[in-house]
Every structure is written in structure tokens, then in C-alpha cells.
Structure 1
């Protein structure tokens, strides 16, 4: 007579216990993501700003590098008394460089969008001990529209009869942040110094600074 083989009860319960634990963990994960949504959005915004600024700064550095000088961008006119009478922008050169930098920055941001960003769920607890622990959440960071760039200038005193003229390139873009619980947009701006010059001599009392690269920067004594 053949005895019947009986499976231990705990063997039959093992898959059920595992499935129940998996369901509980999944529910806790969904609950945690939902309740910590605002914190995750804030973290994602900060991370998106950081990465977008790095991407745009890298692009500007690659395009401009150290080869662009003040003389490449500005022409300084001196009057008969040796005073600076006008600073004229080299509009064609500046527009070309701004366009190249914008395209390079767009490529970097598109690469960032393809890769995405991962945030550890433990970081949303606000406890340093768990800042790098727990499952990670993938955050999509997508540029909205094209990167815009423009040159900006500033004047500041550099001593007696000396004025520092600094030229920077501003890059800006709107980034769309998408997380499992929602989405948000953030504006990102960065300024990268490009060139500067010390204007020596009689300093005009008033500067008429026209921000467009197509116009001259007139110095009115």
C-alpha cells in the first residue's frame, strides 16, 4: 500500500506569504511616493537646475573656451583727447557665438532628457541617515522649447580713472520635470563670464548701455 505524500503546510503558505509581502511593500512604496510628492518635486527641481546649469556651462565653455578675447567682441573708439568715446559691439561675431553656444547647450540638455535622473526615495524623508537609501525614482527632465542665449555687459569701477567692462553670455531654458505623482516646470538661467577689459583714462559720467549686440554702447561724458 502506497502512502500518500503530503506537502508540508508551510511550503504551501510560502508563496502566499511572499506575494502578500510583495503587495504590502508595493502599497507602501506607492503611498510613500504619493505623500512625499511635494518633497520629491522640490528635490527634482533642485537637481534639474544643477544639471541644466552644468550642461549649459559646459556647452558655453566648449564653444567659447579661452580663444575669444575682448577685442573679438568689442571695438573701443578713442577721441582726440584720449578718452573712450564709444564701445561698439561686433554684432556678427557675437551672434554667431551665441547661436553656436545655444545649439551645443541644446544637445547637452537633450542627452540629459534621454538619460533622466534618479532620486533615492530615502532622501525625501529628510533624514541624512537615509538620504542615499531606499528604492530610486526615475525623474524625467525635458527641455521645453529651445535654449536662448544673449550677451550681457556690465561696467564697474576698477580704481581711479579705471573701469572694468565685463562681457558675459546668458543662457536660459525652461525644464519640464516629470515624476510618478505629477509634473512641474522650472526656469533655469546661467551667466558665464566671457571676456573683460580695463578701460583706462577719463571715465565718462554716464554709460548708455544698449543690451542688443546689434547696437553700439555709447559713452556720454
Structure 2
């Protein structure tokens, strides 16, 4: 009888220990899984957009520039039709990229999930499955920066926002994948017209 009680007590203590470990490790594992998934999804999105859209896009396709007789830029306006087209193409490409990753099992070593450099590739591998949620939001933003003496660089880039869910054993969690992809740029000589500074892109 005493042996049975000791065995039962040992099982109880082991169960409590494992439960305590699971409760303490769960937030760390979820955080690592979200970070890992976000990194892979961001890389896939950036590569897909650069290959399919950004590399073949020029600034003049998106911003129509008007010059005076002396060749000075006096006005600029957004090519709304082209901007809407490229945003639609980009959104579809990102959705397609994320769908291609759906159901793919990503294996994250437990040591890496715990943040250990020494044990990064050791321990059991935690299976992670990514599931896209909802639609992808795409917008175009711009920024001005100094490019040299009396020169201003106008950079355009995509803002891409997507919701995904990760599934790991007994756990489901959502994350937001946010990334920026360079689109086009142009260097203005001299003073930048107000119409350029105040450009309004669709979706903003």
C-alpha cells in the first residue's frame, strides 16, 4: 500500500512539474513561433512583390510630371489609374503567395524557440502551420530625403498588411504581418514643387 501511495505521489509531482513547465514555456514558444512565421512570411512577400511588380515599375508610371519651357518641373500628379492597377496586382500577388504557404509545416527547434544560442538546433522540433486570414491591405506611401547639393530624393514604397494565424499543437494565435517594399524613386533638382510634396495616393 505504501509503495502505491509513493508511486501515486511521484506521478502527481511529475504531472504538476510538467504542467508548471508547460504554462511557463507556452508564452515563450508562442512568441518565438509568431516571430519565426512573421519573418518567413515577410521574406516571401517581399521577394514576390519585387520580382513581379517593383522591379519593372518606374516612377514616371506612377507620377505624371509636367515641365515648363525651361525644363523645370512645375507640377506633378498621381497617375491614379496606374496606381490602382498596380495596387490590385500587388494585393493579388501577396494573397497568392500567402495561400501557397498555407498548410506548409514549418519546424522550429525547441532550443531556438527558447532563445538558446547553444541549443538552437537541438531538442524536438515544434510544427507550425500558417493560415492566411481575411484580405491583404496594400497602400503606397512616400518619403522625401536629401540626396545631395540642391537635390531631393522622392521614394515610393508599398505598405503591405496581412493577417495570419499560426497553429501549433494545442495552441492557435493570430499575428499581423506588416512590411514595406521599395517601389520607385526620383531625384528632383532644385526646389520640389508643392504639388509633389502634397501628392495623395489612393488608399491613404
Matched, 1:41 2:27: no
Asked whether 1:107 is paired with 2:90, we answer no
Cα 1:126–1:79 shift into 2, 3 Å: same
CA, structure 1 residues 214+105, in 2 after alignment: closer, same or farther (shift >3 Å)?
A: closer
How far did 1:38 drift?
Answer: 0.6
Determine helix, strand or coil for the equivalent of 2:57.
coil
Structure 2, gaps ≥5 residues long: 1-15
CA shift for structure 1 position 132: 1.2
User: Higher Cα Rg: structure 1 or 2?
Assistant: 1
- 1:89 maps to 2:78: yes
TM-score, length of structure 1 as denominator length? 0.74
Q: Distance in 2 between matches of 1:167 and 1:191?
A: 10
Could you say if the C-alpha distance between residues 86 and 213 of structure 1 is closer, same or farther in structure 2, counting changes exceeding 3 Å? Answer: farther
Equivalenced residue count is: 191
Q: Which residue of 2 aligns with 1:174?
A: 163
* Partner in structure 1 of residue 183 of structure 2: 194
- TM-score, normalised on structure 2? 0.79
The yes-or-no answer on 1:52 pairing with 2:32 is: no
| Alpha-carbon distance, 1:33 to partner | 4.7
Aligned to 1:148: 137
Distance 1:110 1:28 in 2: 40
Query: SS in structure 2 opposite 1:42?
Result: helix
Residue 206 of structure 1: CA displacement? Answer: 8.6
Q: Which structure 1 residue ranges, 5 or more long, are not aligned?
A: 1-26, 216-221
Question: Alpha carbon RMSD of aligned pairs, Å?
Answer: 2.9
Indicate which of 199, 205, 209 corresponds to 2:198: 209
Q: Contact 2:33–2:113 at 8 Å: present in 1 too?
A: no
CA 1:29–1:77 in 2, change beyond 3 Å: closer, same or farther? farther
Name the CA distance, whole Å, in 1 between partners of 2:148 and 2:84: 32
Q: Distance in 2 between matches of 1:123 and 1:74?
A: 46
- Give the distance between the partners of 1:32 and 1:111, measured in 2 at CA: 35
**Residues in 1 aligned to 2:195 and 2:53: alpha-carbon distance in whole angstroms:** 30
Partners of 1:31 and 1:133 lie apart in 2 by 22
Give the secondary structure class of the aligned counterpart of 1:203: coil
Alpha carbons of structure 1 residues 58 and 170: separation in structure 2 relative to 1, 3 Å? same
8 Å CA contact 1:166, 1:197 repeated in 2: yes
